[in-house]
Each structure stands twice: as C-alpha cells, then as structure tokens.
Amino acid sequence: MTTAVTARAHTNIALVKYWGKADQHLILPETSSLSLTLDQFYTDTTVAFDPALSADEVTVNQQRLSPAASQKVRHLLDLVRAQSRQDTFARVTSTNHVPMAAGLASSASAFAALAGAASQAAGLTLSRRDLSRLARRGSGSATRSIYGGFVEWHAGHNDATSYAEPLLEQVTWPVAIVALVLDPHQKRVSSRQGMQASVATSPYYPAWKQVVAHDLAAIKPAILDHDFTQVGEILESNAMRMHALTLSADPAFSYFNGATLTAMQTVRDLRAAGIACYYTLDAGPNLKVFCQSQDIAAITARFTHDFGHDRVIVAHPGPGLSWL
C-alpha cells in the first residue's frame, strides 16, 4: 500500500473559543465552540504508507522533523494504523500556505489535512464526522477544519460524541476577516499549556463555561440571520473573556503585547467613526477583525497606516477538507 494521497484543509478562527480540555488524552473539550473556516490559510499534506520504511518520516515546509518534533503526527498515524489494522510506516510531506511566518495557527489545518490524507492512504473511507473525530486527536481546533464556513464543535462526552458539524457551510454573507499580524514569532505559551493552566488555576473557569453556553446559544441564530452586529459583539466579548482566563491564572500570563492593546483601541476608534468591525484573538498577540466586505478597504487602509504595509491579510469564508 504505497499509494500517495494528498489532502488540503483550511485553518479556522474561533468566534466562540475552545479553551480547556476535559480529557487531555482524547482531546475532549470542556465546552463546545464555533468557528469560521478561512480561505487564505491552508495546509496541503501528502501521506504514503510504505513497507520499505523502518520509521515514520515527517517533512513540514521542506524541513525533516526530528522524532520529538513529529510526536503528534506519529500519534495520529498510530490511530490510523490501528483503525486500518496494519503496522506500515508512512512518509508525510506537508506544506503550510500561510502568507506570513507563523502568527496564525496552522495546527487546525495541519491535523485536518493529515487526518484526510492518512486515512485515505491507509484505505479507510471515513465519514466527515469520523474525519472530524480523528483530526480532534491531533489538535482540538482541527476538529472544526474538516468543514467550511461556520462550524460548531460539539463538546460531547467521549470519543464518539465529540465532533464538529457545519452550521452554515455555503456562506453567501459578505463578511471577511482582516488579520493584523503584530508579531509573527512563535508563541511562548502554547495553547495546550495555556488552556491547561487556565482550567487548573483560574477561579473564573466555571464562569467561562456559562459564558460559552450563553454565547453559543446567541451566536448561532445571529449567524443564520446574518445579524452582523450581534455576531461581532459576541465574538469580541468571548475573546476578551477567554483572555481573562490567562490573566486570572496562577501564575498569570498573557498573549497580548503592547501593540495588541493599541490595535484593540484602533478597532474601537474605527467603530466610533462608523465602520463596523470587531476583533478576536487566539493564543498570540495578533488581531483578527471581523467585518463586512464593504468596509475591508477602510479597515485595511487604517491598519496599514498605523502598523505597516506587510502586516495585513484579508481572508474570506473558506471551504472544508478536500483531496487533491
């Protein structure tokens, strides 16, 4: 079985965040979450199982990974080998198409593409639900990248019940995400470590679970109604409350830098000037600004003026997993 299979998956931005695991091993989240898959950022991954190999070989962006660096990839391959009842090693070649060095998460697109390519290369024909469950075992946010558009990850309570489902896959709503890259370097505290510290030590964690339940119930009808203001207000407050879990952890930490706070004020200034836009941010200092297509030019012009030309990337709703 040496047929090479290539899959493509796009990254996603969470509008209601996943921040905390109920089960570290199975990657079962404490809460459900909801995201928008983006067209601009994606990963292409090719997998071939080859009996001539004596170990898995993993290459990302033309760099061969050490066994330590490829541990999560090999773990997912082990799951695929177990499901397809074989023990052949694999050659994995992956390219991240992210316009600027790091700064934007690639683990979501990476593990969704790996789940798609590895399962098919192993001869498995998985449903999208099962692909979503498999991708989850690599990285939680990858669960959602199997689908395009607006996607909900149902927390579930075990491996079988924790998977994503599209809320609105064919998006005709003219919305966009303007990403403002303030620091393209690797994050100091990984999301995995950061969320674990928040669950274990933030006294606000129980309140966060209520926030997510409330925000999910409110954002879903707002998305289906194309209620831009309602969606924007929810995603911005949800992001701030997620980041409050880092500031309230022991020891406290933050993903913000000085420019992050300045950029948040710029978004509020834009709003005060009549340009509707709302920010969210993940485990890093960069803002992703949710806006309507008609306002992209004004927002981009302001960001370029304040933060520099090579810092702004515009993305639109993107598609789900595909095979090339």
Residue closest to ligand DP6, measured at CB: 140
Q: Which is nearer to ligand DP6, 29 or 319 (CB)?
A: 29
Q: Is 94 helix (H, G, I), strand (E, B) or coil?
A: strand
Rounded-to-10 torsion of CA 107, 112, 115, 116: -140
Q: How far is the CB of 302 from ligand DP6 (least distance, A)?
A: 25
Distance CA 58, CA 45 (A): 10
168 in Cβ contact with 148 (< 8 Å): no
Question: Which stretch of DSSP H or E encloses residue 50?
Answer: none
CB atoms within 10 A of CB 1: 13
Q: Is residue 91 helix, strand or coil?
A: strand
Q: Rounded distance, CA 192 to CA 195, Å? A: 6
Instruction: Report in angstroms how near the CB of residue 191 gets to ligand DP6 at its nearest.
Output: 4
The residues pairing with 57 across neighbouring beta strands, listed in sequence order, are: 91
Specify the 3-state DSSP secondary structure of 41. strand
The smaller minimum CB distance to ligand DP6, of residues 140 and 285, is found at 140
Minimum Å gap between C-beta 14 and ligand DP6 is 3
> Greatest CA span in the chain, whole angstroms?
63
Helix H or strand E encompassing 9: strand 5-16
> CA–CA separation, 1 vs 46, rounded Å?
14
Q: Tell me whether residue 17 or residue 133 sits nearer to ligand DP6 (CB atom).
A: 17
Least Å from the CB of residue 165 to ligand DP6? 15
Q: What is the DSSP string of 285-309?
A: S-EEEEEEGGGHHHHHHHHHHHH-G
Residue closer to ligand DP6 by CB (options 139, 300) is 139
Cβ 13 to ligand DP6, closest distance in Å? 7
CB of 284 to ligand DP6, least distance (A): 9
Write down the least CB distance from residue 215 to ligand DP6, Å: 12
Pick between residue 26 and residue 314 the one whose CB is nearest to ligand DP6: 26
The nearest distance, CB 303 to ligand DP6, in angstroms, is: 21
Q: Which is nearer to ligand DP6, 193 or 294 (CB)?
A: 193
When the beta carbons of 19 and 228 are compared against ligand DP6, the nearer one is: 19
Q: Closer CB to ligand DP6, residue 37 or residue 139?
A: 139
Residues that bind ligand DP6 (CB under 6 A): 14, 17-19, 27, 33, 105, 107, 139-141, 191-192, 282-283
Q: Residue 305, CB half-sphere, CA atoms under 13 Å: how many?
A: 7
Distance (Å, rounded) from C-alpha 312 to C-alpha 191?
Answer: 23
Return the residue matching tokens 């998305």. 223
State whether residue 257 is helix, strand or coil.
coil
